[in-house]
Structure 1
């Protein structure tokens, strides 16, 4: 008896995590090579993920969903600044550097081929939604909450990219300053 399509896809995602970690397969591996490492036929990967970009996007989208559960578990309904700090601390941790690099690699590819990374692009707002809920809990209007969240996610991602490109810069201190500014009352 065959398992439902979603279950097969979930099992393949888990196998991909087990084999390649949460950053997914490296950029130089073909679908055939990935399939070989997993011990499956490459057409199975194509069936479930469509293409190499689809496979990479699915792996990173699932990794981000898992990350968000960890980040959101920071405490009971964390505040906006606390949640920003948890996001920074999670992704600035050297243990997550490969996944952060993979994220930016896919973002760069998605800029040129958004259709090939449809699932990945659709999931990019996940952190924004987490932060938006925190801002709403703190009394922001819906518009303010959305804008604050978009700005915070853009700033944190920019700082993470800066940290990858120029690790000698005082990026961690700048992130701390940015996060502290979020907790300060508006001028």
Structure 2
């Protein structure tokens, strides 16, 4: 962590802390104390608790896109899709995923400080997933459609998993989606 700017260090520490503890019922002051800083420093760098949470979601999403990039080319389209899904369904990510859906809902309701999430919540994934589809032989148009559908299915199944805890059922649904995607490549 040496050499990183203070904002970056605080963000990474906050991601790790909230992954361990969750965000429910936590104040900015409590989080600052957990991070060994003051709430004023968090406000200075992130503007508000909501601003910090949006940055945390952005960071976690960026890490997931980096993981996708690492998987690309490491197997068949089916293997890549299943490996990526296994990553999303790692219970260690559940706190971050709950935070994502919480903030997404707040942003849709126009809660101040959260609306910055909306412009990129889908579009940040479309480029990398479209490129992945094209690398699997899809046309630009079909790859873009598949990318949007993939985001929607993945998020829907993650929400289902967080609500029901039924990993077997969501895995079966994702398996069906992957089979349909692979069939579209033929």
TM-score class, shorter-chain normalisation, is 0.7 to 0.9
Is 1:62 the counterpart of 2:69? The answer is no
- In 1, Cα distance between equivalents of 2:104 and 2:21: 14
User: Relative to structure 2, which stretch is displaced further, 95-104 or 149-158?
Assistant: 95-104
The match for 1:100 among 88, 97, 100 is 97
Query: With structure 2 as the length reference, what TM-score do the two structures score?
Result: 0.83
Is 1:113 the counterpart of 2:110? The answer is yes
Give the count of matched residue pairs. Answer: 182
How big is each residue's C-alpha offset from its partner over 1:40-88, in whole Å with a ceiling of 9 and x where there is no partner? Answer: 2212111111111110111121122122222321252766544432331
Query: 1:1-187 residue pairs with structure 2 within 5 A?
Result: 7-21=5-19, 26-76=23-73, 81-113=78-110, 116-124=113-121, 125-168=123-166, 170-185=169-184
Is residue 136–residue 185 contact of structure 2 (8 Å, CA) maintained in 1? Answer: no
Is residue 17–residue 24 contact of structure 1 (8 Å, CA) maintained in 2? Answer: no
Please give the root-mean-square deviation of Cα atoms over the aligned residues, in Å: 2.7
Structure 2 alignment gaps of length 5 or more: none
2:161 aligns to what SS in structure 1? helix
Is residue 136–residue 142 contact of structure 1 (8 Å, CA) maintained in 2? Answer: yes
Query: With structure 1 as the length reference, what TM-score do the two structures score?
Result: 0.82
- In 1, Cα distance between equivalents of 2:37 and 2:6: 12
Structure 1 alignment gaps of length 5 or more: 1-5
Is residue 71–residue 87 contact of structure 1 (8 Å, CA) maintained in 2? Answer: yes
- In 2, Cα distance between equivalents of 1:73 and 1:59: 21
1:108 aligns to what SS in structure 2? helix
